Every structure is written in structure tokens, then in C-alpha cells.
Amino acid sequence: MQLDFEWCYRAVDSRDSRFDGWFYTAVTSTGIYCRSSCPARTPLRRNVRFYPSAAAAQSGGFRACRRCRPDTVPGSPEWDTRADVAARAMRLIADGVVDRDGVPGLARRLGYTERHLHRMLTAEVGAGPLALARAQRAQAARVLIETTGLGLAEIAFAAGFGSVRQFNDTVRQVYGVAPSALRRGSARSTGAAGLAGAAGPAGETIALRLAYRPPLHAAALLGFLGTRAVPGVEARDGDTYRRALRLPHGPATVALVPADGQIRARLQLSDVRDLAPAVARCRRLLDLDADPVAVDAALAADPALAPGVADDPGVRVPRAVDGFEIAVRAVVGQQVSVAGARTVLARMITQPPDESEPLVPFPGPEEVLELPETAFAMPGRRRQTIRELAGAVAGGTLDLDPGADRTEVAARLRQIKGIGDWTADYIALRALGEPDAFLPTDLGVRRGAAALGLPDDPATLATHADKHWAPWRSYALIRLWRYA
């Protein structure tokens, strides 16, 4: 990524929070790196270096500013929307793949050699996969230090470090103090990051705040997720959305509440090693790394959408915590109402005998393959499509994770009998984070277009979308559903 010095310096001088996460400002005279909106005095030009990632700044010998907490900013929207190898790698690293499978495992997932992958990431973000994973471990460690009562040795391994010594050295280098000093600071105050937490009876409960770039239309997000909430898996109660998560080391639940320019998240983890993937999946679900100003500006250029964008800024694309779950939802939702799909999906949920936690994760592909026929309240052809879909994911021939190749996934999906363009594009929209998906044949989309005075003929509507809404057709689609 090429950073223009003057462009970045102007953003820092104006303390523009819109660019938090796009780049990081390092100051040679202090040895500190900051977010673009750091309230400290603007450094002299000759003392400034700009880096495309926190890991790159750390590799350059700089430590994180303890005032602006640059590790708490939203991620770069590039890695959330781009479909190239570097972006796919960034999404997989955020999901903890390097911590679980190492760099060789990441390289295998992407189909490249470790050396080539290192070269690509270094060229794009200024750091290789190990350095990027190390920066993420440091952030996870800080959260655990400040929000839980775990011992420091337990935190070291929970955050993914190979040894306590590596943990101590990394925290000192990244934050400029020992882990024990971070804990003493958090005992005096909830801290600049606004974190607080306590141990729970069924595991570790961690409360934290998820940053995003404003504006955020929270009501649209909650409305979409609440209307489609599958009983037993998720629920909406007022401004709180709760759901179960299937994480690498065990199940978890999360409660998400929009509040004061951030999302408050309360995670109940069965294994604290799942902190980083849990946070990554919650951010992805709510589309928190998006750049709503850029999206809204592009859509507002169309006179048909301009009034709605002005009235309702910051509409996001509700995405997914589990790609397979979204794929099953898409198949079940073919030509049925939202309420009908919820009823059918609820039949697939097996509640445990212990009812202390009413929410359980949506069944994985292996579990779906073992469900009795009575759990599929749908036509036989659709039931067969779901079983074939589950078999492909379980067998490794179909990858619906955030790091999957979108083109390959689309082609593979269409090979499954019963999956056509609407289903494949819906999966791309929500499971893969495609920012430019569109469903011109969808009845809700056509009704929304008609409400705006646009033609509802699919071919004509698709042409209009290509001309006026690309590369953000996914966001236009969500708005059309709202108008419908």
C-alpha cells in the first residue's frame, strides 16, 4: 500500500478520526506510533513516519501510544472488501489462523508458498504474517490483562504466545511497559479503551467496546438481525442482540449493544484462546470496519437514493459469524417468507438438556449431515441441496470462511443442484463480505425499487445498479430491502 505523506499528514494535523485504521503515525523523536486522530500535539514533519499497519510500525521499532490506544481503532476497510490474496490473508489472520495452524497453515489455505505470501503481505501492509499475528496477540493479551482475573502466565498462552518470556518481551515492546504494569493501570481505572470485565461461572466473561467509523445506523442492523433471528441461536431484546458462536476451541455467546459511538460486546467464552476470532467475527457480523462516508457518498450521487441516504446515513451490510450457517439460511429462504424460513431453521436446532444457556450455535456441517429427516421441514429437493452443501463443506471441497476465494466459491456453489444465482449471490453478500453483490430478481429488492420510482424489471434494475451503485451494490440492496 502506497501512503501519500501530505495526504496522511493533513489527516493527522486535523485529527480526522475517519482515517483511524487506514494508516498509523510513528514519531521518531518519541518512538511512539498513534492513530490519525490522536489528541497529542501534531509532530513535526521531519519526525513523522507513516505505516499501513500497526504491525509495520511495531517492526519499525515503535511502541503503541498509551493515550490514543491505536490498537483499538477499526480495521482498514480495504481488508474487509477486497478479494485479493493479501486481503484474504488479513481476514484469516484476524480470525486466528496463524495462531492455530502457523504460517504454513495460512499459506496452504491461500494456495501460496510461505515465502511468496510473506513478500505479498510485506509489500501491502509493511509486515509479514508472523508480525501481523504477533501484533494481534499483543492486543488480545492487553484485553485479557485489563478485563479478566486470569494469571499472567495463563494469559500468555491464551493470547497465543509460545512462552511467557515471548509474552513479556512482546508486551514490553508494543506497549512500553511490563504486563504487570498494564494490570496495575487497569486496576486504577477502566482505561482509555473503556474495558471492563469479570470472570463468569461457565468460563471467562469479557466486556469490551468495538470501535467503528461513524455514522452507524444501529436500528437498521438490529432490525435486520432481529427479524431473521433463529430461535435457540440468536435473539433480540430491545437494543441488545445476543447470539451463540461456534469458535475454534468451543462454543460461546455474545451480547452486542450499540452505545455512545461504539458497540458494547459482552463475550462468554468457554476458552479464552477464542478471544481474537470471537471479536473478528462480531466485527464482521456488524460490518464495523466499513467506511460509511465513502459508501454513502457514492450512493447519494444517484438522485433516487440521495434522500434516503441523507435521512438514514451509515446503513451497513449485516454479515455473518459462520459462512456455512448463512449458506443454509440462503437455501432454506428460497421462495419462502422470512418468518417461514425462521420456523424451518428452528426445527434444525437441537437444544441441550442443560437449559442454563438458552442459546446454542447453529449446527455445523457434520451435525447437519447427522440430523434426522424430521428436522428438515422443507421439500425433498431443498433438503438434498442442504445435505450436499454440508457434505462439500465437511469434505473440504467448499470453503465458506472469510479468507475464501470469492470467485472459486461462487463457481463451486453453482455446481450444487438447487443453488442458483440468487442463492450464490446472497451467500457472497453475507458470508463472504462481497460489497458489490446484487439480487435483481429478489421480490423485496424489486418492491424497494418500485417504492423509489425505479423500474422493477430485473434486467433494467440490474443495469441501473451497475451504472449508479457499483462498487457498493450490496449497500444499495440493503437500502432497497428497507424501503420494501
pLDDT at residue number 203: 61
pLDDT at residue number 288: 95
C-alpha cell of residue 181:
504494569
pLDDT at residue number 297: 97
Q: Which of 459, 458, 442, 461 is nearest to 305 (CA)?
A: 461
Residue 442 annotated in active site: yes
CATH architecture of 5-72: 3-Layer(aba) Sandwich (3.40)
Residue found under cell 473440504: 396
pLDDT at residue number 97: 95
Catalytic residue among 80, 95, 289, 442: 442
Which residue type occupies 461? L
DSSP percent split of the chain into helix, strand, coil, nearest 5: 50, 10, 35
pLDDT at residue number 199: 38
Catalytic residue among 8, 20, 34, 71: 34
Domain 196-278 - what CATH class?
A: alpha beta
pLDDT at residue number 352: 65
Q: How many CB atoms lie within 10 A of CB 301?
A: 12
Residue 34 annotated in active site: yes
Residue 141 φ/ψ, nearest 5 degrees: -65, -45
Q: What stretch of H or E contains 282? A: helix 275-285
**What CA–CA distance (Å, rounded) separates 316 from 479?**
9
**What CA–CA distance (Å, rounded) separates 93 from 279?**
12
pLDDT at residue number 202: 42
Angle between helices 85-94 and 129-147 (to 10 degrees): 30
Let me know: does 249 contact 181? Beta carbons within 8 Å.
Answer: no
Overall size of the chain counted in residues: 484
**What CA–CA distance (Å, rounded) separates 248 from 70?**
27
pLDDT at residue number 75: 85
Which residue type occupies 162? G
Tens digit of pLDDT at every position of the chain (484 positions): 578 999 999 999 999 888 899 999 999 999 999 999 999 999 999 999 999 999 999 999 999 998 999 988 888 888 888 889 999 999 999 999 999 999 999 999 999 999 999 999 999 999 999 999 999 999 999 988 988 888 999 999 989 898 999 999 999 999 999 999 988 876 544 333 333 333 333 466 898 899 999 999 999 999 999 999 999 999 999 999 999 999 999 999 999 999 988 999 999 999 999 999 999 999 999 999 999 999 999 999 999 999 999 999 999 999 999 999 999 999 999 989 999 999 999 999 987 656 566 899 999 999 999 999 999 989 999 999 999 999 999 999 999 998 899 999 999 999 999 999 999 999 999 999 999 999 999 999 999 999 999 999 999 999 999 999 999 999 999 999 999 9
